[in-house]
Structure 1
Amino acid sequence: MIYLMSRLLKVNIFVLLTAIFSLPLAARQTLWEPQADKVFLQEKSEIVRTTGPVTQVAQMGERSFAVLDGKFQELRNGSLEPVSNGPEEINKVEVHDHIAWIMASSGFFRFDGNDWQKISDDSFVDVCLHQEKVHAATRDAIYVYEGGKLTNIEPEGGYLSSDVTMLMEDGTQVLADPVKPGPIIAIASYSGTLHILQPGKLVQLSGRVINEHLIDWGTLPSKNTFDLMSVGSRLFVSTDRGLGVLRGASLQQIKGTEGLPVEDTRQLAQGFDQDMWIGTTRGAIRMLEDDWHYFGADHWLPDNRVNDIAVAENEVLIATDGGIGIIRYEPFTLRKKSDHYEYWLDRYGHKRMGFIHTIHQYENEWVREISDNDGAHTATYLSAMSYKYAVTGEEAARKEAVDAFQAMLWLERVTPIDGLIARSIWSRKGDKGEMGRRGSGGLPAKWNATADSLWYWKGDASSDEIIAHFYSVSLFHDLAARGEEKELAKEHMRRIAGYIMENGWVLIDADGQTTRWGRWNPEYLLRPYGWTDRGVNGLEALAFSYATYALTGEERFKKGYEQLVDWGYAENTVKQKNTFPPSQIAPWDDNLAFEAYNTLLRYEKDPVLRSFYLRSLERTFEIKRMEKIPWFNFTYAAMTGNDADLDAAVQHLREWTLDCTEHNYRNSHRDDLFVEEGYTSYEGGLKAISPRESAVTRGARRAIVLDGGRNSKRIMEPVGFIRDYWMGRHYGLILAPDTEDPELLEVKKGSGENPGAAPYEGPDRPDFL
């Protein structure tokens, strides 16, 4: 009786779990909160290069100025033009109430945008607004500007000391030596009082008293001090070892451990949105209430050494030794950002016969790269457009999906063997550049000519391409295909999966040899040579065999799947993610695994087998979680219903740079390289680097790579963003924007010259519909 009850209980649980997993995700209880697609400020970069260092910048209303070769110049249409009648050997420029105060070797000047006025022959070091009046400082004295002239504010009889030992019984002071405010580096008005920065020391001018004892608690991070700025309740001091922050009488320190990207801080500037800008010897920093944004060369700045910063409304000028970096901010939504990247694909020529390509420079011309993984790159776009069509119903999105789908079909139909796929296809009469000479793992490329000699197709396809085909084509079938397209999708999957199974779970190339990485057989995965691949490759085989069965209903694929399960492939998926040794971690395997998770968990409903795959996903996501990459977070949330740090993942999308050019970037020098609280680094990463601080990368991206870039010689296809955004929308992880303003939903489409690769002009791809 006990056995019977236990058996019935197991059956009932099985039925219950099967019923739950059969429900659409929207009908299940989820532990994540959908994220709003709220309006945010998106950075755009412009660089003005100069022949020498730009030492100062200034913003006066809508006009921008800079100091180059010691002369005051205006920035117009991306170039600097000298301002007539200005002084030379300018050392510093400060703007207050739309008036520029110019400190030069020849004196102190006032410029209202049209006329110059020389105020003093003395050499001044700083200017600030104090009690609604301009105050200016030389190295040894402070003046107030009133009625068109400067007046020294030193009281009759001189300044008094804050040293109590110098006080007489009646409160008077009799000093042997006068108290001086200098040597002065900078001045600022804080809490209604003038504060003075001296070398390694902060003092205040309290009435007649120079107060050297204003700090009750704390010390400056360093004696090497550079700049001073008041922001509300805080007074900031820049040093070469971090920031000093005065609050009342307490001096605190902000260093790398608090999130400051570079401790060698120099210039300070008030921001436009309750923020502050910091110039350093290694880039510029935007400091917000709860975040830090780092901007370095080569994407944002022409050089990393910052000399000055000027801020206007939604625009920042950064003077460097190599010129001026201009960062502009524009209101965006993620929906608008996705539209930007879709427009980018068209404008820069990433598309060719339905394929998606990276662009690179070849003999001073932008050309499309015919790569090892054209199918995998196109698969990301096919999935993106399938998701988009499912969300919006836009026929334009479906048309794009169909075009990409036909390109995927062609990769299989171009080979002479049913089920064998090509990595890529080269047109003898239409493609530019050169055919890639390398294949898998640096081995020689395997190019094969078609019977009509119009095309070459690249062989030695790997597991990367195989799982990409099944992930994207099955999504297309479910979300965007109609009629004959659905049948073609099934046939495509049937041919590839059948060919692999017929050959004993390996991919046989046209030369009769197994491809380098097309191996899912137990002789490889369950032996020492392929042992490290047993998890991810086994996951792929389980995914493509079961997905083919789910869509075609053919029993042979179900039997193949069950054979894999009998071999222990399901159990092996649990620890598919390799974490050691770090030098042997293949980051692209993460992309393959998540394509397999997305494919297998959409169809498999058996609770026992799902338990293996879910445990695998749980383990893998915990490892990848610190990187905050939406592709991983969204997959985990969609397939499990669990919380997946969606706020961090959506913020990651907001921080993608609009420019897809792979500029060089460096982060390994930073002082804030630590794993954030609440996360654990299992792969040896020091910090998850924001996309703003690296470059646009594809699905196999890693956020823990500190340095990289391609010398601005390659342009990445931004299909990863498009896919992730529309995937988030499809599963309800991201809500639709709460606006109908077209300027917040779409970018303006220009009609200018194509800045990327020239349009493809070769023979057309076959039409399979």
Structure 2
Amino acid sequence: MTKSNFYGMTLLLAVWVQSTVLGQSGSGGTYYDTPFIQEYAIINTKDLSGLSQQSLASNRSSYVQVLENNQLLHPAGAQFQVWGTLASDQTYLPMAAKKVQAIDSYQGEIVYLDDKSVFANAWAGTLFLKHQLPAARIFEGGSNFDFLISDGKQLQYLSPDTEEVVKLSAPQEILAIQYDPIQEKFWVLSPSKLFQFDQRGKKLIEVASGKNLTSIAFYSPKNELIIGSDSGYFTFDIASKTQSPLVTKIPWTDINVVDTKDDQIWFGTSKGAFALNPDGEISYYFLERWLPGEDVLDISFGKDEVFLLTDKGLSTIVQKEMTLAEKAEYFDEYTQKYHLRNGFNSTLNLYTPGKIETGRLDDSDNDGLWTSMYLASQGFKYAVTKDPETLVQIKQSLMAMDRLFTVNPVDGFPSRSFERSGYIEKLSDPDRWQHAPDPEWDWKSTTSSDEVIGHVFVYAVLAELVEDDWVKNKSIELIDTLMTHIVDNDMYLIDFDGKPTLWGKWNPDYVNNFPIQVGDRKLNSSNIVSMLQTAYHFTGKEKFKEKAFELMDEYGYLENLMRPMEIIGQAGDGSDSYSQMLSEAWNHSDDEMYFVGYWGLYRYAFNEELKAKFKESIVDHWQAERPEKDGLWDIMTALVQPEKFDLEESIWFLQKHPIDLINWSVQNSHRKDLQILEPNFRRQTTSQVLPPSETRVARHNANRFGLDSNGNGRSIYSPGDIWLLPYWMGRYLEVIQ
């Protein structure tokens, strides 16, 4: 939400929910880039309602098959961000004649259970064990190519070493079988009992019980069984023969299937899948970023993949080893390929959900702001790498920023956006568009304060860090042009109609009209001092310095900007309705404006005394923001306090951020593992923020505690401002090496 979005807006700041503050000591230092696991999904769709466990299997080469109505299917046509289908698998001609009733992964290969035998095409087809259960649909392999199979009522043990028939009836319906390679035992699960299979005694020995049991897996790191049910799971310690209480603090308790991979435990539920990691953290996979359907029916593992079979198709969760530098390279290329419109950093809107090929780059209220943040990332990148291709891109986007000033007839006024003429009715907010003096172009008016602070921020970064005469001189020229317009117009941004824009107001009559607890009083004071300092630093013009000191000394702007965040809140009943509207809730767009402005506020402070005060104000704000674990806010804080800025949380944000930036719908409010807070001013919904991989794709001006959103796959946000800015700023500040 931006300052221009007047109606329905919730704004400004108050005390953070104190119980959630992360602690008072942040970690500073430097992160040395090492590989981590980056996950993303490849989706194949098909209506598969009615399938169950043992409908999915894969081999050591990650070849995967799905079994539906005795027929084998495999993925076709899918790649990252391009959905495919499941097609008939005709790889082996004789398979079409087989009545395959279950499939499984065994010793790195796919094995099959039909109405007559257990067999495989691997091992030169030598695995072939006949059985006597024509309706068999459950099977599990032992250590030596021996298998235990069931039709749900009876069990039969098959071994290549003996012709003895070990067959018995089960006291209850058989749901699943699990082999334990440490004890070399088969375990058998019914809806209410866990049994040990005694081959010699030809019997089942009851060892544990529960209600509405559904699935079983062996977890070797703890030598235990994981038993799923429709209301959670419990563990069975094999050595002590004890079972744990039911575990219900998990994302969803209606468990269909459980499986293990190394030290992870994976669960498929009726509302997505989740993995329990060895550190106790949970990774949740739900809705279209990760799955084609909600109901996860079966799980299998490839070499570097996790396959999740759902009622609407197959998801391949690719687990790719990657460094942050490699992720940055991917996002740099992706931004240039999909998100640059006339040099602007833009959203790609999709006219068919999820389909990139239907995308169109559209204007936005904040073309200037989003481009400022992307362009700043490229400025930091060039300062670190001196890459000539990055300099080319800097010039392209800086030309777009420059043209925001020249496309309209108002001296020193930056347009929101511009577009070729003749399309106003198809653009966002048609009533804000004006015809340019050049009949080939139209431009968007009503520019907001969040764009203005973005302009000054990026021009300062480029002027200081990019060793190119045109870039440096153009950036300084634009700082001078914009700030001269504001100063000459009595601290207002004046539009084509001769009136201030709705939010372009830094005059004391406006700023000091707010009660001290209304955030705009603090914000506007902080931003304008930052901008005037920046203008003076690069132009040397005394008018900017004089105006800044006038505002600080005579109009209380220093006091305003130093006001601690703990007193920022709602205006109160005695305040005017405008102030009350502006302080209904914490506004994260304002956080973005503060932090973007902190570059100029701290770096170009007029003197050391002010610099120390500004650091105090910035750190105070950061303390309020810490629970969000926003990588940009943390890394910007390293500018003023490199020894204490939450380095670990910064890296967590960068690593956990998805590379699929399609604005899919997400849901988390149903989760049973979250501690939900009472409604509060901050609109913090949970005690701990969820990782970016589990929440909506959002820019830094959004509430990172939002649990649900209805993106519906209709757009793709640019990584240029979301990810590349914190990464490359971190590289420039040398907190990421």
**TM-score normalised by length of structure 2:** 0.83
Deviations 1:697-745 (A, max 9, x none): 323243211122532221111112111111111111111xxxxxxxxxx
CA distance 1:703–1:234, shift in 2 (3 Å): farther
Q: Which residue of 1 aligns with 2:87?
A: 80
Q: Which residue of 2 aligns with 1:570?
A: 558
Q: Which residue of 2 aligns with 1:112?
A: 121
- Check the 8 A contact 1:108/1:124 in 2, yes or no: no
Distance 2:639 2:218 in 1: 47
**Aligned match for 2:319, one of 324, 329, 332:** 329
Residue 366 (structure 2) pairs with residue 382 (structure 1): no
- Check the 8 A contact 2:58/2:104 in 1, yes or no: no
Q: Which residue of 1 aligns with 2:542?
A: 555
Residue 176 (structure 2) pairs with residue 186 (structure 1): yes
CA distance 1:201–1:524, shift in 2 (3 Å): farther
Counterpart AA for 1:727: M
CA distance 1:648–1:263, shift in 2 (3 Å): farther
Aligned length: 662
1:206-221 alignment runs, 5 A limit: 208=201, 211-212=205-206, 214=207
- Check the 8 A contact 2:57/2:104 in 1, yes or no: yes
Gaps of 5+ in 1: 1-29, 159-178, 439-444, 736-769
**Aligned match for 1:734, one of 724, 733, 736:** 736
Instruction: Give 1:433 deviation, angstroms.
Output: 8.5
1:432-451 alignment runs, 5 A limit: 434-437=426-429, 445-451=431-437
Q: Which moved more, 1:604-613 or 1:43-52?
A: 604-613
CA distance 1:295–1:708, shift in 2 (3 Å): same
Instruction: Give 1:572 deviation, angstroms.
Output: 2.1
Residue 56 (structure 2) pairs with residue 57 (structure 1): yes
Q: Which residue of 2 aligns with 1:585?
A: 586
CA distance 1:253–1:516, shift in 2 (3 Å): farther
Larger radius of gyration: 1
**Aligned match for 1:284, one of 270, 273, 291:** 273
Counterpart AA for 1:68: E
Q: Which residue of 2 aligns with 1:634?
A: 635
Distance 2:295 2:570 in 1: 38
Q: Which moved more, 1:243-252 or 1:38-47?
A: 243-252
- Check the 8 A contact 1:200/1:225 in 2, yes or no: yes
Distance 1:77 1:446 in 2: 43
Instruction: Give 1:149 deviation, angstroms.
Output: 7.4
Instruction: Give 1:134 deviation, angstroms.
Output: 2.9
Q: Which residue of 2 aligns with 1:308?
A: 298
- Check the 8 A contact 1:125/1:137 in 2, yes or no: yes
CA distance 1:572–1:326, shift in 2 (3 Å): same
Counterpart AA for 1:706: L
- Check the 8 A contact 2:155/2:170 in 1, yes or no: no
Deviations 1:116-164 (A, max 9, x none): 875333433533344545331423554332128775547xxx9xxxxxx
CA distance 1:141–1:69, shift in 2 (3 Å): closer
Q: Which residue of 1 aligns with 2:398?
A: 405
Q: Which residue of 1 aligns with 2:580?
A: none
- Find the residue that maps to 1:223 and give its secondary structure: coil
- Check the 8 A contact 2:27/2:646 in 1, yes or no: no
Distance 2:646 2:330 in 1: 25
Q: Which moved more, 1:719-728 or 1:127-136?
A: 127-136
Q: Which residue of 2 aligns with 1:238?
A: 228
1:618-629 alignment runs, 5 A limit: 618-629=619-630
Counterpart AA for 1:684: Q
Q: Which residue of 1 aligns with 2:103?
A: 93
Residue 36 (structure 2) pairs with residue 40 (structure 1): yes
- Check the 8 A contact 2:588/2:700 in 1, yes or no: no
Instruction: Give 1:501 deviation, angstroms.
Output: 1.8
Distance 1:513 1:635 in 2: 34
Distance 2:60 2:77 in 1: 16
Instruction: Give 1:681 deviation, angstroms.
Output: 10
1:609-620 alignment runs, 5 A limit: 609-620=610-621
CA distance 1:89–1:732, shift in 2 (3 Å): same
- Check the 8 A contact 2:191/2:213 in 1, yes or no: yes
Distance 1:541 1:180 in 2: 78
Distance 1:279 1:583 in 2: 40
- Find the residue that maps to 1:558 and give its secondary structure: helix
CA distance 1:510–1:92, shift in 2 (3 Å): same
**TM-score normalised by length of structure 1:** 0.80
Counterpart AA for 2:546: K
Instruction: Give 1:481 deviation, angstroms.
Output: 4.5
Distance 1:102 1:542 in 2: 72
Instruction: Give 1:469 deviation, angstroms.
Output: 0.3
Distance 1:661 1:388 in 2: 25
Counterpart AA for 2:274: I
Gaps of 5+ in 2: 1-25, 79-85, 572-582
CA distance 1:150–1:523, shift in 2 (3 Å): farther
Distance 1:316 1:432 in 2: 47
Instruction: Give 1:38 deviation, angstroms.
Output: 0.8
Q: Which residue of 2 aligns with 1:18?
A: none
**Aligned match for 1:501, one of 468, 487, 500:** 487
- Check the 8 A contact 1:119/1:149 in 2, yes or no: no
Structure with greater contact order relative to length (CA < 8 Å, sep ≥ 6): 2
CA distance 1:308–1:150, shift in 2 (3 Å): farther
**Aligned match for 2:388, one of 395, 410, 414:** 395
- Check the 8 A contact 1:184/1:197 in 2, yes or no: yes
Q: Which residue of 2 aligns with 1:204?
A: 196
Distance 2:607 2:395 in 1: 32
Instruction: Give 1:406 deviation, angstroms.
Output: 2.1
CA distance 1:308–1:432, shift in 2 (3 Å): farther
- Find the residue that maps to 2:535 and give its secondary structure: helix
CA distance 1:256–1:486, shift in 2 (3 Å): farther
- Find the residue that maps to 1:404 and give its secondary structure: helix
CA distance 1:716–1:202, shift in 2 (3 Å): same
Q: Which residue of 1 aligns with 2:410?
A: 417
- Find the residue that maps to 1:328 and give its secondary structure: strand
Q: Which residue of 1 aligns with 2:576?
A: none
Counterpart AA for 2:490: G
Q: Which residue of 1 aligns with 2:663?
A: 662
- Check the 8 A contact 1:109/1:120 in 2, yes or no: no
Distance 1:256 1:543 in 2: 50
Q: Which moved more, 1:182-191 or 1:373-382?
A: 182-191
- Check the 8 A contact 1:359/1:716 in 2, yes or no: yes
Instruction: Give 1:313 deviation, angstroms.
Output: 0.5
Distance 2:46 2:662 in 1: 21
- Find the residue that maps to 1:147 and give its secondary structure: coil
**Aligned match for 2:160, one of 147, 150, 174:** 147
Counterpart AA for 1:110: F
Instruction: Give 1:400 deviation, angstroms.
Output: 1.5
Instruction: Give 1:529 deviation, angstroms.
Output: 8.1
Q: Which residue of 1 aligns with 2:500?
A: 514
Q: Which moved more, 1:716-725 or 1:666-675?
A: 666-675
- Find the residue that maps to 1:638 and give its secondary structure: coil
Residue 591 (structure 2) pairs with residue 595 (structure 1): no
- Check the 8 A contact 1:100/1:110 in 2, yes or no: no
1:439-518 alignment runs, 5 A limit: 445-518=431-504
Deviations 1:544-580 (A, max 9, x none): 0111111112111111111221222222223458566
Distance 2:569 2:331 in 1: 33
Instruction: Give 1:532 deviation, angstroms.
Output: 3.5
Q: Which residue of 1 aligns with 2:578?
A: none
CA distance 1:328–1:31, shift in 2 (3 Å): closer
CA distance 1:437–1:611, shift in 2 (3 Å): same
Residue 217 (structure 2) pairs with residue 229 (structure 1): yes
Counterpart AA for 2:190: Q
Alpha carbon RMSD of aligned pairs, Å? 3.1
Counterpart AA for 1:412: F
